[in-house]
């Protein structure tokens, strides 16, 4: 019983590490230029609208 | 006074700091770079329009993820889903399994992750990768906390099965330092 749980923990840790690595790699990618253009447009609109 | 200063931060500025993780979440849902970028743009526009409804001091990342997720499931799951992974976003370089090189463990993992059902992949992304608590992820997905726990557990079990992870293998990989060394030169799976 106990050994079963002990066996699962390292496997879970491995999966968590791989998940985080995968997610962080994608999150660290350069953002698309279109997206940054959109952000700038939205900010400009807000400025023009006095927000 | 300090609290007042902290509260002055414009939520629009905070929104921009979440774009990277927002895109990563979009990629995990769409598995297609172009669709993910469209999804993020739509999410940003929606969030920006309703930024006044965001409650200062609450979790903006969770708020954004929820908007993105709702947008995905209402507009992106039928017609657009058919073209998922046309550019191999998630399974990059995993088509051919290399023999005992440094990419083996990670590429195996990505391929196994791709085989999970959508709800389990999402659950692992939210809880395992993004760091949300079970109750936060459950709230985002509109399910009970127990359901979210169950999805995460089933997903982990499925990955363990697919990757054929044995206790001996994984024991070496419990800390990130060891993990980095091992994954740079050895396979996770052993024969």
Rounded distance between C-alpha atoms, residue B37 and residue B30, angstroms: 10
Residue whose C-alpha is closest to residue B106's, from A4, A12, A18: A18
Rounded distance between C-alpha atoms, residue B26 and residue A46, angstroms: 26
Summarised one tens digit per residue, pLDDT across range B53-91 is 999 889 999 999 999 999 999 988 765 555 555 455 544
Rounded distance between C-alpha atoms, residue B151 and residue B117, angstroms: 10
Q: What is the mean pLDDT of residues A30-44?
A: 95
CA B152 to chain centre: 12
Residue for token pair 């799976």? B189
Structural contact between residues B155 and B121, judged by C-beta atoms closer than 8 angstroms? yes
Residue for token pair 């976003």? B89
Is B144 near chain A, with CB under 8 Å? no
CB contact under 8 A, B44 and A39: yes
Question: What ipTM was reported for this prediction?
Answer: 0.82
Summarised one tens digit per residue, pLDDT across range B3-42 is 554 556 889 999 999 999 999 999 999 888 999 999 999 9
Set of chain B residues whose Cβ sits within 8 Å of the Cβ of A39: 16, 19, 44
* Annotated domain spans of chain A: 2-48
Q: Which domains does chain B have, with CATH numbers?
A: 2-83 (1.10.1740.10), 104-185 (1.10.10.10)
Structural contact between residues B126 and B137, judged by C-beta atoms closer than 8 angstroms? yes
Nearest CB to B41 within list A29, A34, A46:
A34
């Amino acid at each position: 019983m106990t050994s079963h749980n002990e066996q699962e923990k390292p496997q879970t840790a491995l999966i968590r590490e791989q998940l985080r690595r995968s997610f962080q790699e994608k999150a660290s990618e350069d953002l698309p230029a279109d997206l940054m253009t959109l952000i700038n447009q939205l900010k400009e609109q807000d400025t023009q609208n006095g927000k | 006074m300090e609290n007042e200063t902290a509260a002055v931060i414009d939520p629009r500025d905070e929104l921009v700091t979440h774009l990277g993780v927002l895109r990563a979440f979009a990629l995990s849902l769409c598995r297609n770079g172009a669709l993910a970028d469209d999804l993020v743009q739509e999410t940003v526009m929606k969030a920006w329009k309703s930024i006044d409804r965001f409650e200062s001091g609450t979790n903006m990342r969770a708020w954004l993820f929820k908007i993105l997720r709702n947008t995905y499931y209402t507009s992106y799951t039928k017609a657009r889903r058919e073209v998922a992974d046309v550019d191999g976003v998630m399974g990059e370089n995993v088509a051919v399994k290399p023999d005992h090189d440094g990419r083996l463990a990670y590429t195996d993992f990505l391929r196994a992750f791709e085989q999970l059902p959508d709800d389990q992949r999402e659950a692992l992304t939210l809880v395992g990768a993004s760091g949300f608590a079970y109750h936060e992820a459950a709230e985002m997905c509109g399910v009970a906390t127990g359901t979210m726990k169950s999805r995460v557990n089933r997903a982990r079990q499925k990955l363990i099965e697919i990757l054929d992870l044995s206790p001996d293998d994984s024991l070496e990989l419990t800390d990130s330092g060891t993990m980095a060394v091992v994954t740079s030169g050895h396979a996770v799976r052993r024969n």
